Structure 1
Amino acid sequence: MSVKDLFLKLLLTSGFFLVHLTVLAQSFSSDSSYYQRFPGEVTSRFYFSRKYTGVDIKDRLGEIGELNYRPNSTLNMGIGTSYHAFNLNLALGFGFLNPDVGKGDTKYLDLQVHAYPNNFAIDLFGQFYKGFHLKQEGYLTQEGENYYYRPDMKVREVGASVKYVFNGKKFSYRAAFLQTEWQKKSAGSLLVGFELYGGVAKGDSTLIPSSLMINPERDFDKMGFFEFGPNVGYAYTLVIDQHYFIMGSANGNIGLGFNNLQGDSKRTNWNVNSNYFLKGSVGYNSRRWAINANYVFSNLRLAKVDGFNNQIVTGNYRLNFIYRFLPGPKVKKALDTVNPYLYL
């Protein structure tokens, strides 16, 4: 099964899961003194965003040190809307936002779903990247080059993280990340859930630059991985004067998984690793409009193989400008047609 097929199955499964949660939502009631909902209103947004997935190769034996491969993903500008459980965002990486800085081209499809049904936080990932550069400017480059660039290097990763929010009646993820709600009083919540990730990173030749002269027996051009396990964490929103907020969320994961490195030989190891998943948001929220900046970061440590402690890092940061309004009768009818479920 390809990683694309796996991601589609994860997406389909999560879709059925979200529909099931809409039914359970009938019995859910929030504490309006802590956060306010806006049923029947449209949340419109204008935003800037950038997503990325990178590979860190860490040699604990000290032959090469650490290599940080990153894509040259675009800074995107777009618009979006939210109505009940329906969310739609459309953005493009316009040329004037992305001047050529000599990092090399990256072709990518980055699918990220961050959903917050009542008492749950669900994150789905599907990353398909080709073309990476080393993060360090000028490292291992020849004269006239800014970055060491690998147009052949590919990364394919799919994953899911599901967390139960114990204090969903007082704490709102949606207020911080979707702006469909307004957190008026400080609150936090314990988070407990489960995660799984799998994928591959590979190149047409060794992923370790030949100029570093690594021992050929440790060299590799392909890295496959899979990890799963429980997570636990905490989220908290500090609210100042009802309108200004700072929100932080941190989850730790103990994952059992394998990692295999393939070069002249194939080396595989199973191990238990500690990973972490961070979210943050800061901004201003009010009855009609809001502005905020948020960041999502996932660090996936892979099983140690032949002295390598490699990891996959995934990030997504956004700047949102929000305005809420009541739709007219015709627009409301059209929106209700495409969004038949309960308010989550």
Structure 2
Amino acid sequence: MTVGMFLYSDLLFGQLKNDTTYFERFPEMVTGRFYLSRKYTGLNIKDRLGETPLLRYRPNSTLNMGVGASYNVFTLNLALGFGFLNPEIGKGDTKYLDAQVHAYPDKWAIDGFLQIYNGYHLASEGQFAPASQAYYYRQDIKVREVGASVKYVFNGEKFSYKAAFLQTEWQKKSAGTFLVGAEIYGGLAKGDSSFIPKKAMLDPSRDFNKLFFMEFGPNIGYAYTLVIAKHYFIMGAASGNLGLGFTNQYGLEKSTNWSVNANYLLKASTGYNSKRWAVNANYVFSNVRLAKNNDFNNSLLTGNYRLNIIYRFIPGPKGKKILNTINPYRYF
């Protein structure tokens, strides 16, 4: 079961007075949503010496179906990976907790990641797989990652992240904005034995079965929403990060390397928006490169894609009374 619940912090940052000709807020309306979503965190292992092909470890995460609602600064989402959406496909089980927060207080974009994954298969399917199964599956491989990205949104009076991703606002005119901030990431990936399938490695002395990393640094980016005929939109955002960090690589010996790595965070959304109804598809993708060790370039890739069907409505007197009891604005 996937549960999402957060209070995006307009209370801490203050609510900005927006240009209503560019986007509209709906503070008195409940934004209800039905959605499908999938999250994943993968590990890429690239051998710069060419002894080993590119290894792409991927989890068998579930496609989730759920419902949610937003009112004022409060959002709650509930979802389940129902069996009919996830037929057994023989890749091997992945047990995981993937908590992602994508919050958009006025003038800010905040992304938080907590990934705990156990069990991976190797893509493309069938590569290095034994004759008894269709997939090279490693129950012992574990990935842990925690990170955050915070960016200042320069044109928050005209550009709305919430319209594209939270559906609590409506972008009526095209607008863009520069983004500046910072990011930090850390975590590990490990297995009971080498990450490299034996028949893929020519030099066993380069084997490794554990990576530990940490990096941080500034980022800069740009986001833009193209609005067509007031209701249809295409939104894209990209930010690059120069992260100073280190990676410990464990094999026959431990090796440590420090470097500056170029990472990136991408977001996209497209769909239809109006005062009552909205439908959109959105995608968030993060690539964190690790400092190379023994001529391996490794990276962690995190993604989240979602399809939303939205309906907004004004709650009745009883509903509004209940909602106002959890409205934190009443305390200020």
Structure 1 and Structure 2 fold alike (TM over 0.5): yes
2:76 aligns with 88
CA contact (8 A) 1:57 1:67 kept: yes
- 1: CA distance, partners of 2:58 / 2:172: 38
What amino acid does structure 1 have at the position aligned with 2:238?
Answer: A
Which position in structure 2 is the counterpart of 1:11?
none
Matched, 1:25 2:9: no
Does the 8 A contact of 1:34 with 1:183 survive in 2?
yes
In the other structure, the counterpart of 2:187 is 199
8 A contact 1:217–1:265 mirrored in 2: no
Matches within 5 A, 1:139-288: 139-288=127-276
Q: CA deviation at 1:144?
A: 4.3
- Where does structure 1 differ by over 6 angstroms across 4 or more consecutive aligned residues? none
1:14-53 matches, cutoff 5 A:
19=9, 21-26=10-15, 28-53=16-41
Greater share of residues in helix: 1
Match of 1:294 in 2: 282
**Contact 2:238 2:266 (8 Å CA) reproduced:** yes
What are the equivalent positions in structure 2 for 1:68-87 lying under 5 Å apart? Answer: 68-87=56-75
Is there any run of 5+ residues in structure 1 with no aligned partner, and where?
1-13
Using the alignment, how far apart are the partners of 2:13 and 2:104 within structure 1?
A: 14
**3-state SS in 2 of match to 1:211:** helix
State the AA in 1 paired with 2:298. N
What TM-score comes out, normalization by structure 2 length? 0.95
Report the equivalent of 1:7.
Answer: none
Percent of aligned pairs with the same amino acid: 67
The structure richer in strand per residue is: 2
Matches of 1:24 and 1:35 in 2, distance apart?
19
Q: How much is the aligned-residue C-alpha RMSD, in angstroms? A: 1.3
Q: What TM-score results when the alignment is normalised by the length of structure 1?
A: 0.92
In the alignment, the residues of structure 2 paired with residue 332 and residue 208 of structure 1 have an alpha-carbon distance, to the nearest angstrom, of 58
What are structure 2's unaligned runs of at least 5 residues?
A: 1-5
- Residue 105 of structure 2 aligns with which residue? 117
Q: Classify 1:214/1:84 alpha carbon distance in 2 versus 1 (closer, same or farther; 3 Å).
A: farther
CA positional deviation for 1:339: 2.5
Judge conservation of contact 1:252–1:275 (CA < 8 Å) in 2: yes
User: Counterpart of 2:14 in 1: which secondary structure?
Assistant: helix
- CA gap of 1:220–1:320, structure 2 versus 1, over 3 A, is same
Output the CA distance in 2 between the equivalents of 1:112 and 1:332: 29
- Structure 2 residue corresponding to 1:341, chosen from 326, 329, 332: 329
Corresponding position of 2:3: none
Using the TM superposition, give the Cα deviation of residue 212 of structure 1 relative to its aligned residue in structure 2, in angstroms. 1.6
SS in structure 2 opposite 1:246?
strand
2:256–2:293 contact (8 Å) kept in structure 1:
yes
